[in-house]
Amino acid sequence: MKTPKLNFAVLCDDAFTSEGSKKLNIVGIFQRIFAAKLPIVHPRLAVVANFNIEERDKMYNFKVQMVKEKEEANVLMEAAGIADVKAISASSEENWQMIIYFQIIKFDSLGKYFFKVLLDDMPVAKIPFEVVPPLT
């Protein structure tokens, strides 16, 4: 079994695929959340990961976990499910993306965080970001 090859993974305000063309649209990529005071609640964000896959018509168990750096055992938020990847062309590699939304994300402290993307319990992406005070 071949693990999908990660092309990119980002954190953004919104993402969607266009009707018909299936083009991936990513809006507002960011690496920092600014917090004037704590705790802060971030209303919504999307985790986007894009892969090349060789195995078609396969089901992948996925998890996307948010953790604070150096506290990786403590998962703060998690989305999990099954991705049913279907072949859409006859090429040897297929491009596949996942868009996972998180809402009402509470941060009690400043610092470095990241989202981990796992397929079939194998880590395939790590997306770092920071919660920082506002720029002055």
Confidence bin at 34 (pLDDT 50/70/90): very high
CATH number 2.60.40.2550 is the correct assignment for the domain at 5-132: yes
Q: Is the pLDDT of residue 17 over 60?
A: yes
Q: What secondary structure does DSSP assign to 55-104, as a single string?
A: S-SEEEEEEEEEEETT-TTSEEEEEEEEEEE---SSSSSEEEEEEEEEEE
Around 75, how many Cα atoms within 13 Å sit in the side-chain half-sphere?
10
Stated pTM of the model: 0.88
| pLDDT tens per residue, range 60-75 | 899 999 999 988 889 9
What is the residue extent of each domain of the chain? 5-132
